[in-house]
Amino acid sequence: MVPLLGIFASSQVIGVTAAGFFLASTVGISPFNLIPLAEHGNLPPSTLAPLYTHMFLTRGRRAFLAGSLGAAAAFLTAYFNRPADISLEHSRALLGAAGLLIAAVPHTIIWMVPVYKQLGNGAYKGTEEQTKERWQTLMSRFYRGNSIRVAIFLAAYSLGIYGLTSSKVTHLV
């Protein structure tokens, strides 16, 4: 029973850590942090486009997949290796956290990836005013989609913390 308890505890800690990492990185590119810094530089969209393409599609894709699916896998591992005396409420928290983390994948593919690709598109035709208007529309869509992701990861992180603290494992550590 001790090896099972070790897998259970370490899986929860890994899940919470990975969910926290992705929550922090998602907040880091939200309207509260990195993006406004770049936007306040008054750089034209043609200059910002390659930066955003690199940040979102090149680097962000790996962090997203590792953070989201890694945390979900860790929570599911904890769920399937839980000791018999763990409450149903704790098990539901693990499943809820894993489900939310997995749900972030289709949200990102359906909502965020098209925005990322359009932001990175270097073909800005029209007047400077039209280009800025199109850019602002895309950034507005980006902020809405990213806010949803922040909410998803905050809920998953909270469920993971709740699951970890409500299990009897924390009393053993």
The predicted model scores a pTM of 0.81
Structure tokens at 61: 């894709």
Q: Tens digits of per-residue pLDDT, 70-98?
A: 899 999 998 888 777 777 777 888 899 99
Vertex 99: Cα angle to 98 and 100 (nearest 5): 95
Q: Tens digits of per-residue pLDDT, 20-69?
A: 887 877 776 665 555 666 666 677 777 777 777 777 777 777 778 878 88
DSSP code for 86: S
Provide CB contacts within 8 A for 99, sequence distance 6+.
72
